[in-house]
Amino acid sequence: MEEIGHWINGKRVAGTSGRFSDVYNPATGEVQARVALASPAEIDAAVADAAKAQLDWQKVNPQRRARVMMKFGALIERDMDKLAEVLSREHGKTLPDARGDVQRGLEVIEVCMGAPAFLKGEFTGDAGPGIDLYSMRQPLGVVAGITPFNFPAMIPLWKMGPALSSGNAMILKPSERTPSTALMLAEIAQEAGLPDGVLQVINGDKEAVDTILDHETVQAVGFVGSTPIAQYIYGRAANNGKRAQCFGGAKNHMLIMPDADMDKAADALIGAGFGAAGERCMAISVAVPVGDAAADALIERLVPKIEKLKVGPYTGGDDVDYGPVITAAAKERILGLINSGVEQGANLVCDGRDFSLQGYEDGYFVGPSLFDNVTPEMDIYKEEIFGPVLSMVRAKTYEEALDLVIDNPYGNGTSIFTADGDTARDYAAKVNVGMVGINFPIPVPLSYYTFGGWKKSGFGDLNQYGPDAFRFYTKTKTVTARWFSGIKDGASLNFKALD
């Protein structure tokens, strides 16, 4: 049985706590490895070494740190297929989707190649007689990233890139369900020139997380995961005086106006609803057609597309559309929610409950399911299902649809399909959701913008990646300087690089 340990001070090390968690192959249900769960003592030692390494790393000039990012990006591209394979083996997503997971993380590293531009301060000359006023952005020290199972490459890279290129050291605690990709990324970062100790990847569970949250040396926590844990981590980190940005779960709605291109809307719903088995925080899980004609037109198009979806293991060939969900417990929970939808009166148009795949009977597969006539009181509407289940809530008017989204406690992403620019503008302006798509189903902003949900999808200030991330991972120091006299000599005529 493979044993997965930690990445500490530039090498893979075995865990010493004696505690482990099983890592499954979700397609077969078999345990394929066990991952060490770090003890408080292991975290303490890793944080202490990271703090030492950070002192040197922050002195490396920003451009040289950016060069490490440049090389890191190139090596991630070189190893794209290997990373995708490792990722799919633990997560279960298809290989093209796994490459997308790596790619969207790589794009953040590409922006971090320009980190020096984000780290510049401000300057006001002659703010008073002989007085200059300037600000600088300085790294925080040791920061932590705590990441979920569903994007094992992308989200660790969203954390690492801005934190490290800003001169911090990072303790990264990936999901214990998909631990291997982050370890591989750490190895690649070392090859790219990242000094040992600056990135420590520590596997673990609640015990490790709580130790990080209470650790005096750790200055900031960037978390991504479910809403209850995001809220818990935000509270505990803030209570300990740390910066915290904690991104949580979602219930993303897509409005389909009567004037929308129904073929395109249906295709978008299939991709955004069922891709990655619905295990994306930006998945569309609620379709809100406005008017019965739009609803009926969508159902007519969705059903045959859903019936054609191919569900299978990532090794099953290029035509597999999506894979298993992450654990047996996740599958049980999803099936339980589908049952509750039926009991509470929704119309189960496509039923994925009995899906079984020959040769993979113990895998955690759930067939694609579509509910019509869902209402806001039902559990399938209230809960984040995080599975291949699309719910349709019929709205009579645009205003009713808009209010539905406004009243929903989550606010990660949303989308509107329409041919009318005025409706689209109105929706984008009024909706209280962090990321909006117009005729675009999964509006994950590109890496030079920034990613973050509102309401119960995001706790704390400042978003992930883009300019916000550099603000999150640095603190501002402002200097007011007055010089009474000076000696103006010692000019150099050489044109040379700064060290």
Active site residue 112: no
Report if residue 382 touches ligand NAD, rule: CB under 6 A. no
For strand 369-372 and strand 347-350, is the pairing parallel, antiparallel, or unpaired? antiparallel
Residues 92 to 151 in contact with ligand NAD, rule: CB under 6 A: 146-151
Catalytic residue among 112, 246, 281, 350: 281
Specify which residues 413 forms β-bridges with: 435
Name residue 30's amino acid. Answer: E
Distances in Å between the Cα of 397 and the Cα atoms of 403, 422, 423, 441 are 10, 15, 12, 21
Residues 449 to 478 in contact with ligand NAD, rule: CB under 6 A: 453, 457
Report if residue 206 touches ligand NAD, rule: CB under 6 A. yes
Residue closer to ligand NAD (CB basis): 224 or 257: 224
Report if residue 250 touches ligand NAD, rule: CB under 6 A. yes
Could you tell me the smallest distance in angstroms from the CB atom of residue 154 to ligand NAD? Answer: 9
Report if residue 272 touches ligand NAD, rule: CB under 6 A. no
The residue from 22, 205, 261, 267 that contacts ligand NAD (CB under 6 A) is 205
213 dihedral zone (left: phi>0; alpha: psi -120 to 50; beta)? alpha
Distance of alpha carbon 43 from alpha carbon 142, whole angstroms = 12
Residue closer to ligand NAD (CB basis): 103 or 226: 226
Distance of alpha carbon 279 from alpha carbon 292, whole angstroms = 29
Could you tell me the smallest distance in angstroms from the CB atom of residue 209 to ligand NAD? Answer: 4
Could you tell me the smallest distance in angstroms from the CB atom of residue 52 to ligand NAD? Answer: 25
Distance of alpha carbon 143 from alpha carbon 219, whole angstroms = 5
Report if residue 325 touches ligand NAD, rule: CB under 6 A. no
Name residue 424's amino acid. Answer: A
SS3 148: coil
Report if residue 173 touches ligand NAD, rule: CB under 6 A. yes
Residue closer to ligand NAD (CB basis): 287 or 325: 325
Could you tell me the smallest distance in angstroms from the CB atom of residue 295 to ligand NAD? Answer: 26
Residue closer to ligand NAD (CB basis): 142 or 146: 146
Report if residue 249 touches ligand NAD, rule: CB under 6 A. yes
Binding mask of the shown chain, residues 217 to 236, with x at each position contacting ligand NAD by CB under 6 A: -------xxx--x-------
Report if residue 37 touches ligand NAD, rule: CB under 6 A. no
Could you tell me the smallest distance in angstroms from the CB atom of residue 122 to ligand NAD? Answer: 30
Report if residue 411 touches ligand NAD, rule: CB under 6 A. no
Residue closer to ligand NAD (CB basis): 145 or 341: 145
- Closest alpha carbon to 401 in 257, 208, 211: 257
In this structure, which long-range contacts are made by residues 433-438, counting pairs with CB atoms below 8 Å and at least 24 apart in sequence? Answer: 433/252, 433/405, 434/458, 434/463, 435/282, 437/254, 437/413
Q: Which two tokens stand for residue 243?
A: 């910066």
Q: How many CB atoms lie within 10 A of CB 124?
A: 12
Question: Which residues neighbour 76 within 8 Å (Cβ) at sequence distance 6 or greater?
Answer: 83, 102, 105, 106, 109, 157, 185, 188
The residue from 412, 423, 463, 474 that contacts ligand NAD (CB under 6 A) is 412
The residue from 83, 119, 182, 209 that contacts ligand NAD (CB under 6 A) is 209
Binding mask of the shown chain, residues 417 to 456, with x at each position contacting ligand NAD by CB under 6 A: ------------------------------------x---
Could you tell me the smallest distance in angstroms from the CB atom of residue 394 to ligand NAD? Answer: 25
Report DSSP letters for 435-456, one per residue: EEEES-S--PPPTTS-B--EET
- Strand runs labelled E in 14-139: 20-25, 30-36, 123-128, 131-139
The residue behind tokens 């000076």 is: 486
Residue 394 gets which letter from DSSP? -
Instruction: By CB under 6 A, name the binding residues for ligand NAD.
Output: 146-151, 173, 175-176, 205-206, 209, 224-226, 229, 247-250, 281, 384, 386, 412, 453, 457
Residues forming the active site: 281
